[in-house]
Structure 1
Amino acid sequence: MKFDPNEIKESAKKDFEKTWSETSRLLVGERSFKFPKRRGKKHLITIYSDKAGDILLEMGFDEVVLKPIWEDQHVRLQYGPEAPAILDRLYYLATLPRPDIGLSDSKKKMIRHKIGGFDRFDELQEILKDYKRENIVGGEDFTEALVTRLGITTEDAHYLINDVFFELKNIKPKSSSLTLLSHITTAWFPTLQAIQDKKGLPVMLFTTGWRFRREQREDATHLRAHYNLSMVVMDENLNIEDGKYITEEFFSRMGYEVEFRPKPNNPAYYAPGTNYEVFVKHPEMGWVEVTEIGMYSPIALANYDIKYPVFNSGPGLGRIIMLSENISDIREVHFPEMYVELHLSDEQIGGMISIDKLPETPTGKEIAKAIIDTCEKYGNEPSPCRYDAWEGEICGEKIKVYIVEPEENTRLCGPAVLNEVVVHDGSIFGVPRTKKYEELFEKGFKTNIRFVDGFAGLAAHEIEQGCDETRIRMARSPSDVNIMVDPVAVRYVQGKNKKIDIRGPVFTTVKVER
């Protein structure tokens, strides 16, 4: 069922609990969902992340998942005197301190007025103490405790939280020393510290994950959260030339030629003289920076008691995707649903066209095929005429299915019955395979859906439901021949001033004798 958002919002403003309860009725009933006959689509980031990951696995790297939340002390240990400037880019995590919630006489009066006969104030006070002491973990648990321990409804619990316990409305977040991962390096040092005596050398690790940075704005080149790839190699005699070799090998397998340029101002966690910007050659844009590499400073490593040299590289997945896919906006890489203008190819539009109602049983599917075969074989026979299509038992009842045309001077089926649905240049057509439309079939996307396929599916579906006759006369829209075009495709085609031209004289009747 399609919702009216404006109506629901207005109703919720007047009475949230009543609207909350009443709208739930829109979401119950018999199962009607059908899986679409298509394969889902991967996100670009997943495609390139998988490609890079497979290459690294082949090179001998192990994949790890790194913690996304760390104490800010790790930035201080790694960056030394540069840490204050780096901390400015981090997001600190804050939580809401839990207030003392008392039960004054006025609050008790409000509760009694709303919840008639309520007298479990001692138990309620215990719940409030448990909440303050964090014996109740989360907000949902608080609501559940009120409902289960007091024996009240969820609506009543909402009333207590929103109207009675006013202290909950005025809480201000309190910052902690925990930060979201801004540089994946932050997580590499403690991870390497933990495993340096557990794995044999060389230790070769990679990860993919989100990085969070306090950008002043989000635009075509800046995001506050973006997905990235990072790798480290730890070995006893490792140096920056080894790191360059590893980088060249990785990007070569990704399909790129690389160039290294010394970075004039490297971060303190890299050793001086080992920090390089890495550029790849693009056929149109020339040399484009995609990552930087470096050897971790022995000082930063010593702060974690790490005994071996460590090489690090963080190839920018977003930058690589932008270059490979000719995308100019980093937001379109990560969040295409929000930033990319919809563009559908003929093939994509065709994939959004399907037969609506179909038989569900093996017998029903057999009937549908028999109807199609009969229409193909006898559709041009002059009328009046009748041709039996199928005879057998369905749902415990013997039936005979036949196609009939009682009128004189016509045909068993109309001339459009074998029309096929083709998508060409953004328009949807239902046309016959004749010389007139030869170019359309050659250049367009063929859905392999014909009017007869849709009609037969509908007839067999209705026979399963106990119907004795299914008739289609002149088709004027896709639904007339049981063909469904996804609303997204309809809006797209119409928005581009293209056509949906699925029409024609079908004039076919299926009947059942019981």
Structure 2
Amino acid sequence: MKFNPEEVKLETREDFDKAWSQSGKYLTPVDPSKDYSIKPDKGKPSPVYDTMNRLREAYLNMGFDEMVNPIIIEDTDIFKQFNYEALAVLDRVFYLGGLPRPNVGISDERFLQIEGIIARPLSDADKETIRTILHKYKKGEIEGDDLVADLAAGLKVQDSKIAVVIDHVFPEFKKLEPEASHKTLRSHMTSGWFLTLEALVERRKTPVKLFSVDLVFRREQEENADRLRAYHSASCVIMDPDVNVEHGKAVAAGLLKQFGFSQFKFKPDDKRSKYYTPDTQIEVYGYHPALKGSNTKYRDGWVEIATFGIYSATALSQYNIPYPVMNLGLGVERLAMILYQAKDMRDMVYPQFMPEWEMTDQELAHMISIERLPHTQEGHEMAMGIIATAEKNGSSPSPCTFEAWSGSMNGKKLKVTLVEKEENKKLCGGAYLNEVYVYKGDVLGIPLNNPKFQEVQNKGVHVGIRYIDAIANAAARNAEEGVYETTVKMSRAPGDVNVLIDPVGLRYIQGKKRRVDFRGPVFTTIKAEPVE
């Protein structure tokens, strides 16, 4: 039976052994009272998309329907919406451009060059094929990414040769410069709402309640801690004959209460955009208890979080919309900064480019594993036998010998024992049950219930590896490879007890000048002896 870690519940020792063998990960000895189902680790969401999803749910909870608004907006619409402010708005938008289609002439000299590259003469039909395809490309009937393939198919040659032809025979393609169109990337979600409402005004009965959470683009001179060139707007509209400013206040409060904001203040927005009716553009300030006293610019607990207003009747008339429309919008990244108490939007949105690299203890713990694992079922059984024997007898006085496992491996019968020959010792040293924890970037092997390490045990991240677990796996792997004695005396580093820290995690630890401390007396000897 094929093992599927997402579906199989481990109920028997056989199930457990199979799971361990196929998962390649350490699992503690089977306990019939526990559920050993193996589940994949849950991924970590981006703060931005996590906040986006919560906003979507918040809008849906309030009865708004989700819409996808147009991203590409003609600049003529900007003039219709913003009136004499349009030029100022257009100064901050990205115009879309494209490469023009060159008018390529085909001379006899060029045909000779093509023949030299494809290594055969061109027939009259071949020449006509080239002319026809280039003419269709010029007219837009053939897309740029199909040009090479179409010429190669028409001439029955390899694509690579046609690529050389384009590069060497037609310099017109190299000299192309992009030309701007009258299409822009939307800088305000409002630009899309006018188009959407125009399309729906005769199809939906009022009130029409819509929302969209999507990208907008601003041609900022530079990006900074709270401003990006591409960000997400969480915007909604209500179209209804009776809609007014009070509805905007209610929507703002209903939306933000779902994020823990408890109090609200509303004040007129001095910007007074022309697509809003005068004196209806309102800024929303919310109070969040978690921000009070925080190490951010919102330490007083109050933050500007949204703006709403009633669209201008003049702007609405440009789209034949006869009803008043309330529009509210907030920046997703701004809200995410508040919820995650981030100081710099750039670091929150693009953590991969942060100059200061941060890794949580949980992330670091996932980079720690047992280095050498047995490959065979017998090897896994041997390792578990060693672990169980050490747990039961590790404190037994020496000299002593305890059998841990017997069976066949690689065609040989073996008996495995834990041994300590010296007198007045114990079977295993004092650190053999030390457990691996990550705490504040340190990776530590600690004895449990030791007052010295109580804070690490209570607040750190438990990796789930003990020294004896890793050593037992190393001994089993050694036996598979014909090495029949494994001894660990003093541990000073992870490798001494068969623990591996991924190089990425190790670089982080070293870069942050954190500690890796695996010191401790292990003094454990495991022997495998052939049995006649």
Of the three residues 187, 190, 206, the one matched with 1:201 is 206
TM-score by length of 1: 0.80
The aligned residue for residue 300 of structure 2 is: 285
Change (3 A) 1:172 1:383: farther
The aligned residue for residue 467 of structure 1 is: 481
Q: Does the alignment pair 1:55 with 2:61?
A: no
Alignment of 1:194-343 (within 5 A): 194-256=199-261, 257-281=263-287, 283=292, 284-285=299-300, 287-339=302-354, 341-343=356-358
Q: For 1:510 and 1:73, locate their aligned partners in 2 and report how far apart those are by CA, in whole Å.
A: 84
Change (3 A) 1:150 1:234: same
Of the three residues 423, 431, 435, the one matched with 2:450 is 435
Change (3 A) 1:506 1:289: same
- Contact (CA 8 Å) 2:417, 2:526: kept in 1 or not? yes
Deviations 1:111-144 (A, max 9, x none): 55555457585355554344333333243x3344
Q: For 2:355 and 2:285, locate their aligned partners in 1 and report how far apart those are by CA, in whole Å.
A: 27
The aligned residue for residue 3 of structure 1 is: none
Alignment of 1:378-417 (within 5 A): 378-379=393-394, 382=398, 385=401, 387-389=403-405, 391=407, 402-403=416-417, 405=419, 416-417=431-432
Measured on the aligned residues, the alpha-carbon RMSD in Å equals 3.6
Of the three residues 466, 479, 496, the one matched with 1:450 is 466
CA displacement at 1:414 relative to structure 2: 5.8
TM-score by length of 2: 0.78
Secondary structure of the residue aligned to 2:258 is: helix
Deviations 1:290-338 (A, max 9, x none): 2211011122222222232211000122222333333232222322222
Which letter does structure 2 place at the counterpart of 1:45? V
Deviations 1:322-363 (A, max 9, x none): 333332322223222223622234343223322345567877
Q: For 2:303 and 2:104, locate their aligned partners in 1 and report how far apart those are by CA, in whole Å.
A: 58
Of the three residues 340, 363, 366, the one matched with 1:348 is 363
Deviations 1:417-467 (A, max 9, x none): 43321223422122333737533434533222112323444556677xx63
- Contact (CA 8 Å) 1:147, 1:157: kept in 2 or not? yes
Deviations 1:253-308 (A, max 9, x none): 33222211123442221111211122223532364322211011122222222232
Change (3 A) 1:446 1:310: same
- Contact (CA 8 Å) 1:472, 1:481: kept in 2 or not? no
Q: For 1:33 and 1:136, locate their aligned partners in 2 and report how far apart those are by CA, in whole Å.
A: 52
CA displacement at 1:191 relative to structure 2: 0.9
- Contact (CA 8 Å) 1:478, 1:484: kept in 2 or not? yes
Change (3 A) 1:379 1:288: closer
Q: After alignment, is 227-236 or 181-190 more displaced?
A: 227-236
Which letter does structure 2 place at the counterpart of 1:71? E
Q: Does the alignment pair 1:72 with 2:75?
A: yes
Between the two proteins, the alignment pairs up a number of residues equal to 478
Change (3 A) 1:346 1:118: farther
Q: For 2:39 and 2:529, locate their aligned partners in 1 and report how far apart those are by CA, in whole Å.
A: 30
The aligned residue for residue 140 of structure 2 is: 134
